[in-house]
Amino acid sequence: AQKITQTQPGMFVQEKEAVTLDCTYDTSDPSYGLFWYKQPSSGEMIFLIYQGSYDQQNATEGRYSLNFQKARKSANLVISASQLGDSAMYFCAMSSNNAGNMLTFGGGTRLMVKP
């Protein structure tokens, strides 16, 4: 079985500062993928960034980067230069070959950016 844990129910960050959202995962499968999604109040899940278990380097996409620490089984999302529009729910998710094609999601972190 695979499991995702997000321990921060809510986070505040000042506009223009960086913020780290925590995610730890558990799986016995050596082949897996880790994903971060953003969910604004409108409800749509927006894909942000992906990290494969065999990737040697941390993934980056614009202001988003993924701090992947395989030995610790953590995949934290770093958002640089926070903007007011970054206020939303953020979900960490994973899939693994042994678990089929389903995504398993964490409980999410609500990020609030202060002006």
Should residue 64 be labelled a site residue for other proteins when binding is judged by CB under 8 A? Answer: no
> Could you tell me which residues come within 8 angstroms of residue 25 by beta carbon, excluding any fewer than 6 positions away?
2, 3, 4, 5, 32, 34, 73, 74, 75, 92, 94
Do 112 and 12 touch, CB atoms closer than 8 A?
yes
Should residue 50 be labelled a site residue for other proteins when binding is judged by CB under 8 A? Answer: yes
In the complex, least distance from residue 17 CB atom to other proteins, rounded to whole angstroms: 26
Should residue 11 be labelled a site residue for other proteins when binding is judged by CB under 8 A? Answer: no
Of the two residues 81 and 102, which places its CB atom closer to other proteins in the complex? 102
Half-sphere exposure in the Cβ direction for 33 (13 Å, CA): 11
Q: How far is CA 83 from the centre of its chain?
A: 17
Q: How far apart are CA 78 and CA 99, in angstroms?
A: 27
Of the two residues 35 and 79, which places its CB atom closer to other proteins in the complex? 35
Contacts with other proteins by CB under 8 A: the residue count is 31
Should residue 43 be labelled a site residue for other proteins when binding is judged by CB under 8 A? Answer: yes
Binds other proteins by CB under 8 A, chosen from 71, 85, 101, 115: 101
- Can you read off the two tokens belonging to residue 101? 């094609």
Q: Which residues bind other proteins (CB under 8 A)?
A: 4, 29, 31-33, 35, 37, 42-47, 50, 52-53, 91, 93-97, 100-108
